[in-house]
Amino acid sequence: KAGVTQTPRYLIKTRGQQVTLSCSPISGHRSVSWYQQTPGQGLQFLFEYFSETQRNKGNFPGRFSGRQFSNSRSEMNVSTLELGDSALYLCASSLAQAGGATDTQYFGPGTRLTVL
């Protein structure tokens, strides 16, 4: 099976602009989570989608939003970009079967966003 893919891989934007990042999960995976990774800050949870519904949300401002489509692909959007939004954005997919029998998250390569 193909792994998790993310597009674009690199992005340069200026303050005030908005950006949309895309994530295609492993075929059959129904859950997609998004994380922000900055140097020394680990993996900060943004949100999680399951069957087109946002199940959980981290502590990020409303400028960060996302959605999931019927084919489980997900997008996240950041509006009014700030310098501090520069980071590696990772998405991860999991099978998320009932009962949690297979819970492992598989990460994509990430989108490196630079805000100038």
Partner 1 sequence: GENVEQHPSTLSVQEGDSAVIKCTYSDSASNYFPWYKQELGKRPQLIIDIRSNVGEKKDQRIAVTLNKTAKHFSLHITETQPEDSAVYFCAASQGGFKTIFGAGTRLFVKA
Say if residue 25 is preceded by a cis peptide, omega within 30 of 0. Answer: no
Q: Is 50 in the site for partner 1 (CB under 8 A)?
A: yes
Please identify, using beta-carbon distances, which residue of 84 and 100 lies nearer to partner 1. 100
Among 21, 34, 48, 115, binds partner 1 (CB under 8 A): 48
Q: Is 25 in the site for partner 1 (CB under 8 A)?
A: no
Judged by CB under 8 A, the stretch of 12-20, 60-68, 71-79, 98-106 that binds partner 1 is: 98-106
Please identify, using beta-carbon distances, which residue of 46 and 81 lies nearer to partner 1. 46
